[in-house]
Amino acid sequence: MPVAAVFRLKCLRAAKPPRAFRALFHPVFLERMRRTDDRLGRILHDAGRNAPYSLSPVWGTVDRNGRLLENGTYRVRLGLLEDALEDALHLSLERGVWREPIDLGGVPFVLEDLLLGESSEGGGCGRARYEDLWTAAEDAAAAVGRKGSLKVRVRFLSPMAFKRGDLHYPLPDVSLVTRHLTERWNAACPHAVPDPVGAAEISIARLKLETSRYALRNGGTVIGAFGSVTYVAQGARESLTALHALLHFAAFSGIGVKTTQGMGQCAVSDTQDRRPVPGTA
C-alpha cells in the first residue's frame, strides 16, 4: 500500500547549507533502516531505479544571508510503496533509532515529529491502497463521455529528469513518464498494470516548466524541470484507467531519476470536466 510520511526536523545551529544539502537525508534514511533491519537496509541500498520508496528534498527556508535557521523547522516527505517498509519504519521508531541527532553535511538536526499516513494536520501525508488507486481510476475513466477526454495535472515540486545514455532529459515526455511509472508500480505491486502508451491517445494539454540544477550527493548535478504538465487522453476505458492510476501513483513514487535523493517529487490532481461539449456527443 503506498504511504506518505513527513519527517519534521529542527535545525540546531544556524549554518550555510552544505553542497547538495537538499539530497542529504537519503544516506540518513538508509543508515537508520539498516540499523533497524540489516537485510532490508541492504535491499534498499541496492534497489536501483525501481526503489520501493522516494524521498523529497529537505524543504525549508533560509535567512537573508542564505543560512539555515537555528531552531527552524525543515521537512522531508517519504513515499513508501510496499507494506514491509511501513512496518520497518514503525519498528525504527519503537527502537529509538530516530532519537539520535541527524547530521546533514555537518549541520545538526533532531527529529521533532513524524507524520505517517493519515494525519489531521495534512502536510503531505496520506495513504492509498493499490486497489483504491485502481478503483478511483476506473471511476474517472467511466466518467469520460464518448467524445470526452481524461485530464490529469502533474505538478513537479522538485526538478525532474530522465536518463538518456550519458545525458539527462528534463522533459515529461508521455512515453518516458508512463514507462517509468509502469515499472515502479509493477515492481512494488503484485497486480501488474499495462503501460497505456500505444493503447490510448495521450498528449499534453498544458505545459508550464522551468529548468533548474539539482546537486546530488556524489558530486554530480542534474538539470531537471519543475512546474506543471496537464496530460489529456482519449481511448479505451481500460487504457484511461491505467493512465489515471499510474499518474496518481506518482504522488508516492516520484517520476524520473534520483527520486530517492529528492528529484521528481510531484502532486497530482484531476482537472476540468470530463464530459464532452454539449452538441458533440
DSSP state of 143: T
- Does residue 24 form part of some domain? yes
Residues 141 and 251 grouped into a single domain:
yes
Chain position carrying cell 556524489: 218
Query: For residue 87, is it within any domain?
Result: yes
Specify the pLDDT at position 259. Answer: 97
Q: What CATH code is carried by the domain that includes residue 173?
A: 3.30.70.1900
Q: Is the pLDDT of residue 70 over 80?
A: yes
Domain boundary pick from 116, 146, 175: 116
Query: Do 257 and 161 share a domain, yes or no?
Result: yes
222 and 148 share one domain = yes
* Cα distance between residue 249 and residue 179, in whole Å: 13
Q: Given pLDDT bands bounded at 50, 70 and 90, which one contains residue 218?
A: confident
117 pLDDT tier (thresholds 50, 70, 90): confident
- One domain, residues 135 and 236: yes
Asked if 200 and 236 count as a contact pair (C-beta separation under 8 A), the reply is yes
Per-residue pLDDT of 238-252, as tens digits, reads 999 999 999 999 999
Q: Mean of the per-residue pLDDT values for the chain?
A: 91
Residue 165 has pLDDT above 60, yes or no: yes
pLDDT cut 90: percent of the chain above it: 80
| Same domain assignment for residues 78 and 181 | no
Q: Which of 82, 116, 150 is the endpoint of a domain?
A: 116
Residues 166 and 224 in one domain: yes
Domain that holds residue 248: 129-270
**Could you give the angle at the alpha carbon of 103 between the alpha carbons of 118 and 259, nearest 5°?**
50
Q: Is residue 123 part of a domain?
A: no
What is the mean pLDDT of the segment spanning 34-45? Answer: 91
pLDDT tens per residue across span 174-217: 999 999 999 999 999 999 999 998 767 999 999 999 999 999 99
